Amino acid sequence: MILRKWLTVLLMITFMLCMSMGALSAADGAWDGNGPYVDEIIMPIITDSEARYLALLRGEIDIYPDVNRPSDIRSFAADPRIDLTMTPGLHMFYMGFNLQREPLDDPVLRRAMAHLVDRESLVFSVFDGYVFPLAEAVPESSPFYHRTAHVAEYDPQLAERLLNEAGYVRGEDGIRVDPRTSKPLRTLTLITPTYEESPTSAEVAVRLAQTFQNAGIPVAVVSLEFNTMVERLLRKDPVTGERDFDLFVSGWGLARYPLHLYTLFHSSFDVNGGNNVTGLRDAAYDAAAEKLWRPRTLEQAYEAAAEAQEIWAALQPYIPIYSLTYIDAFRSDRVTGYVEHVGYGAASNPLASPWTALNIRRVDQPEGRGGSIRWLLFDDPGTLNILASYTAFEDQVLGLIYDSLITANPETNEDYPWLATSWVIDTWTTESGEEGSVITYQLAEGVTWHDGVPFTAYDVKFTMDYLKEKKPPNLQAVWQDYSHSIVHDDLTVSVYYNTVSYWHTYATGGFLAEHIWSDVDDYESFQPWREPHPEVEGLTKLIGHGPFVFKEWVPGEYIRLVRNESYWRSQG
């Protein structure tokens, strides 16, 4: 078994090296962020996976973000014109337990089941090794990853021992006996999305059920249409307060900060419609999660995250199984300079990672400047209104148009000053006498909106005040604890929050240009890309301060962006 494990690890390392070699050589490890280097980005909208595959081979696109079909990955990997980058993602696929139902309320049973899961085998047999095995609540791509003492690795002998010692002995028919009832364990139902909707999830569920079955724990797989499954997991019976499932498989896309340890497992979210669907209620865990939710400093956040992960591993509300990788494909005969960002990929999440957009260039351009590149978009964005955006496609476009106050180092995921060159975190006393955070940002000089109007501290204040007034649901984390802002000068602003939390540092935004948005009363119906700019010809009201300027969107066909000639970081 040990030999097999070593072999799989070796295979994965070899595979990752092969996959990343091209990208590293193309990018030369550089991510100076002094671009953008290309004149234009055209984003063809292609909804069908076969057409997308053909489009990259035909050279109709240069960048194919988030390639997820193993057959496509194999084909692209074999094509000398194409480079693939494989970056660990901030993601978790897992099997969850209903902790409020017998016999799954027994942590020993959950732990033993976790030891039965051979993640490496699943990763290779179901995904051809294109995902990473995951055994913890936070993936290794996160800076908050903590190797816990209680991690349940694959160890069937240990599982057998744990079960036997706890009284879950096998009966004559091979099914284990529940020590609390002295009867054979009831058949547990494992809910999964259907094969049609999510073939890999369904396949993993079937294999897990088989594994548990072989170990004497009867499990039956029930496939449900995705919305039905979500409904089943989220809803609590109004009379009994119970959720109607035993086990389920699902996945979450995660953030750089492990706040999911709070929102998915704190007992306050064990409510009807809440995301704590496992029903985890543990006072010690709640205390650690609360510290993580409201840390005063980054150090406190790290400590709280580690503590929460330790308790979480012992409680085992989920069995983590794998973490997705972002596999991005590039036509290396045409473009170079793409940057892999741990947790976000090289081209999959421009909103969280600006590096590839800033660094990419055409190989056929003198000095690597100029030219046009084609960056695939899977579907039409909804609105291109940053306040009403709910889809990843929208974020892909908006990420090229807007900059954030703080970004992340692509190698370490640590904070990287951006529109805010520095910030100081302090506290203040709110009107109600509570303690709150106040963060003072120093903004970069020379930043302008796409229409040439300077970006100032007044825009930050306006953004926060506007959000507080309009309360867009998708940005609740930004406005819910916001109190007010004080502008000290054009480039210095203090933002006051009613609660103390280090995370407020990242909540602050300065993405609404006051001179455009101050006239917008109904933000939901505002279609900034459809309205011409009041003063500058050729622009619309969709203006940001990012490296690319919005030019054109033909719904269903393509989006066209051009280089921001006065981009504040651009050198030359």
Partner 1 sequence: MRTYFLRRLFVLLGSLFVIVTVNFVLFRLMPGSPVDTVISPDFTPEMKALLMERYGLNEPYYIQYGLYLKNLISLNFGRSFQTRLPVWDELLSRLPNTLLLLGSSFLIMVVTGVALGIFVASRRGSRWDTVLTGSAVFFGAMPGFFIALLLLLVFGYYIDVFPVHGTMSAPPPTGFWPRVYDRLLHLVLPVASIVVSGVGSWMMYTRNHLVTTLAADFIRTAQAKGLSKRRVLYGHALRSSLPPLVTLFFLSLPNIITGAVVIESIFSIQGIGRYLLQATLRQDYPAIEGAFFFIAVAVLLCNLLADFVYRLVDPRIEVR
227 is a site residue for partner 1 (CB under 8 A): yes
Closest approach, Cβ 196 to partner 1, in A, equals: 12
What's the burial of 513, exposed, middle or buried (CB within 10 Å: 0-12/13-18/19+)?
Answer: buried
44, 70, 371, 454: residue in contact with partner 1 (rule CB under 8 A): 44
Name which position in 124, 145, 195, 269 contacts partner 1 (CB under 8 A).
Answer: 269
Give the one residue of 252, 302, 416, 568 binding partner 1; rule: CB under 8 A. 252
Out of 473, 521, 537, 571, the residue judged to bind partner 1 by CB under 8 A: 473
Q: Which helix (H) or strand (E) holds 159?
A: helix 156-165
Q: Which of 19, 23, 45, 190 binds partner 1 (CB under 8 A)?
A: 45
Question: Scanning residues 329 to 388, which ones bind partner 1 (CB under 8 A)?
Answer: 374, 379-380, 382-383, 385, 388
Helix (H) or strand (E) holding 477: helix 476-479
Determine, following the binding rule CB under 8 A, whether residue 572 of this chain makes contact with partner 1. Answer: no
Rule CB under 8 A: say whether 264 interacts with partner 1.
yes
Q: Which stretch binds partner 1 (CB under 8 A): 1-9, 56-64, 355-363, 533-541?
A: 56-64
Please count the other Cβ atoms lying within 10 Å of the Cβ belonging to residue 161. Answer: 13
Cα distances (Å, whole numbers) of residue 51 to 60, 446, 492: 10, 42, 49
- Burial string for 188-223 (b: 16+ CB within 10 Å, else e) reads bbbbbbeeeebebbbbbbbbbbebbeebbbbbebbb
Q: Does 558 bind partner 1 (CB under 8 A)?
A: yes
Residue 275 makes CB contacts below 8 A (sequence gap 6+) with 234, 263, 264, 269
Which one of residues 234, 287, 406, 425 is an interface residue with partner 1 (CB under 8 A)?
234
Q: Which element (helix H / strand E) includes 374?
A: strand 372-374
Long-range contacts of 210-213 (CB under 8 A, 24+ apart): 211/116, 211/117, 211/118, 212/113, 212/116, 212/188
Which residues inside 98-127 make contact with partner 1, applying CB under 8 A?
Answer: none
Q: Which of 128, 426, 489, 552 binds partner 1 (CB under 8 A)?
A: 552
Q: How far is the CB of 358 from partner 1 (least distance, A)?
A: 23
Residue 62 CB, nearest approach to partner 1 (Å): 13
241 contributes a contact to partner 1 by CB under 8 A: no
- In the bound state with partner 1, the residue whose beta carbon lies nearer, of 90 and 215, is 90
Helix runs in 40-118, H state only? 49-58, 70-77, 107-116
User: What sign for the dihedral angle of Cα 190, 191, 193, 196?
Assistant: positive
- Which residue, 329, 307, 188, is CA-closest to 249? 188
Binding residues (CB under 8 A) for partner 1: these are 42, 44-48, 50-51, 54-55, 57-58, 60, 225, 227-228, 230-232, 234, 252-255, 259-260, 263-264, 269, 271-275, 374, 379-380, 382-383, 385, 388, 390-391, 471, 473-474, 476-477, 524-525, 527, 552, 554-558, 560
